[in-house]
Structure 1
């Protein structure tokens, strides 16, 4: 059995045990400690922290997420870090209210309820939890969906909420040659078993926050935003909500009826479909459509965006452009929420 060591997190004065053969982030998940994280693959910097004392070694990480000079100074990515002594680690990015309020990671065996095309390249995959019979998560989070017959997985956000205990919905973009998404063209059928692990992610509404909510999404990034909207509707949340969804054409829009219905129960709700290639085509009579990139449309409508909380999910170029826009408009970083998981975005 691997040796175990104690990790002390500052400035929150929190302790936990970690085995040498597991990374620090996974050890935290195992013990119900919700550290900030994104891709869990060493490619983003959401879990970047600073080693104050002790021996920690990293493996298989991107120097874009933690460059050589940062490593020399003592910075680490917790998702790629193994402890070989008792250590003290300074958390650079954390939510003190959520540290011990995260939902423990679950391994769930599910059964396929439906595989339904939503657009030409986005599919709704609905799964029924079988063992255990319920999958707990917070609206906006994501899970690892295991590829049948392999030891690989892809990460996808849930579109449902915890009130839908009989099923979990994922919205998945299909990529040519994608190891998982290619299965959705007939290789995954109703009744098949698929294992999922989760929940992960920090794309969640924060209790007690009152700022207006601005959602910016694109493609399969509809899923976690739809989960948030469904949750806000179910809980009669009174925060104002605006949702900007980027797509190429009218044919790439979906779930319009439900979005409009949810909006009837939300405060000051506004939905704008932002079409980057063409605004021509048939769109729901009650949906506002504007031509242009989603960030350009947001810029035209959100003059006071620095006084909102922004939730981002979509293709990496869209998220990157939105982050640049938000930074240029002085939106505080602690008012911007997005999960930087990378594997489902390209599904290679």
Structure 2
């Protein structure tokens, strides 16, 4: 362990300890402080902040997340920042109510309960918690999965609600398989039910806020591909709690064969007072829609949302999917005057493009 220093956050008047050997973001995780974050790898800019005072160094990061001119001005990525003196940091993106409501990071033993194909390239991976293990998280968060005695670890969103994990002792992940994926590629070969895996988390801030006027705002969910996972967790949670909030779930895919969990989504919708599910396919005919038993739309999911949602000003929006889809959705929501603090998403990167 290195020397320890103090971090003072503005404008929230919050202090914590940081060791020189850990990043500021990891120190926050350790002490139950919920700073905004996404990939934790210096590639998404969610934790970008401004250094007001003190001596720091940053490990390698992407200039797409923090441009050279921003670094020269004093901006830092907390997931890559090591403090070498007491420092003062101005938070740019933060949720004051969430700051002290972090779930502590845990590492638990699990084993594979089931690997179930959902589409041609998406699988459901269910992990069984080890005897005596508990894994506390919030709906919408993600975790790292790691092979024991291996450096191979990848981040995936959880589709499971906290109460379901507590009741069943299982946690579900929805994973897209990529050719050459360092973890997803194993799902077709060496991994099988019963194999041990280590689970570390939870991470992410794509979680439901439930206080004040947010209890009345409409919930708009936009997902594509394996981005179904955290959005499904949110919808499952809203159904569990019997929310009174209107909820609409937009899901984008290419063909009818790329849709999955339709019966469950329809069933969940029956438990929510005002629920609408809008699947959108970019490569489909009307005849194919008729065979699915649900009403859908045509085109890219962001185009569909743009067409069907003229007014999004009084909404909370949750996004997950391939990075181009998320970026396009953010741009769309901002163009429709959705406040930044009501747009919730996580970006994280792994080998190839696993997500």
- Any conservation in 1 of the 2:181–2:352 contact (CA below 8 Å)? no
SS in 1 for 2:313: helix
CA deviation vs aligned residue, 1:97-126 (integer Å, no higher than 9, x gap): 111111000001101110000000000000
Tell me by how many angstroms 1:286 deviates: 4.1
Aligned counterpart for 1:296 among listed residues 291, 297, 303:
303
The answer to whether residue 282 in structure 2 is matched with residue 260 in structure 1 is no
The answer to whether residue 237 in structure 2 is matched with residue 234 in structure 1 is no
- Any conservation in 2 of the 1:251–1:281 contact (CA below 8 Å)? no
SS in 2 for 1:232: helix
- Any conservation in 1 of the 2:157–2:230 contact (CA below 8 Å)? yes
SS in 1 for 2:192: coil
Q: Equivalents in 1 of 2:311, 2:231: separation in Å?
A: 21
Q: Residues 68 and 324 of structure 1: is their aligned pair in 2 closer, same or farther, counting only changes over 3 Å? A: same
Q: Equivalents in 1 of 2:349, 2:327: separation in Å?
A: 13
The answer to whether residue 252 in structure 2 is matched with residue 249 in structure 1 is no
Tell me by how many angstroms 1:147 deviates: 3.5
The answer to whether residue 239 in structure 2 is matched with residue 214 in structure 1 is no
Aligned counterpart for 1:287 among listed residues 274, 281, 294:
294
Alignment of 1:72-221 (within 5 A): 72-130=72-130, 132-164=132-164, 165=166, 166-208=169-211, 209=214, 210-221=216-227
- Cα RMSD between the aligned structures? 1.5
Q: Equivalents in 1 of 2:298, 2:352: separation in Å?
A: 24
- Larger displacement relative to structure 2 (134-143 or 65-74): 65-74
- Larger displacement relative to structure 2 (93-102 or 272-281): 272-281
Tell me by how many angstroms 1:223 deviates: 0.3
Q: Equivalents in 2 of 1:9, 1:281: separation in Å?
A: 54
Tell me by how many angstroms 1:186 deviates: 3.3
| TM-score calculated relative to the size of structure 2 | 0.95
- Structure 2: give runs of 5+ residues left out of the alignment: none
Q: Residues 152 and 169 of structure 1: is their aligned pair in 2 closer, same or farther, counting only changes over 3 Å? A: same
Aligned counterpart for 1:305 among listed residues 290, 306, 312:
312
- Structure 1: give runs of 5+ residues left out of the alignment: none
Q: Equivalents in 1 of 2:86, 2:116: separation in Å?
A: 50
Q: Equivalents in 2 of 1:268, 1:241: separation in Å?
A: 6
| TM-score calculated relative to the size of structure 1 | 0.97
Tell me by how many angstroms 1:331 deviates: 1.4
Alignment of 1:16-35 (within 5 A): 16-35=16-35
CA deviation vs aligned residue, 1:296-337 (integer Å, no higher than 9, x gap): 111121111122111110011111111121122121111111
Tell me by how many angstroms 1:17 deviates: 0.8
CA deviation vs aligned residue, 1:242-288 (integer Å, no higher than 9, x gap): 01100000000000000000000112211111001224536665411
Provide the aligned length of Structure 1 versus Structure 2.
Answer: 348
- Larger displacement relative to structure 2 (319-328 or 27-36): 319-328
- Any conservation in 2 of the 1:147–1:180 contact (CA below 8 Å)? no
Q: Equivalents in 2 of 1:106, 1:132: separation in Å?
A: 14
The answer to whether residue 246 in structure 2 is matched with residue 225 in structure 1 is no
Q: Residues 303 and 232 of structure 1: is their aligned pair in 2 closer, same or farther, counting only changes over 3 Å? A: same
Q: Equivalents in 2 of 1:267, 1:320: separation in Å?
A: 30
SS in 2 for 1:343: coil
Tell me by how many angstroms 1:207 deviates: 1.5
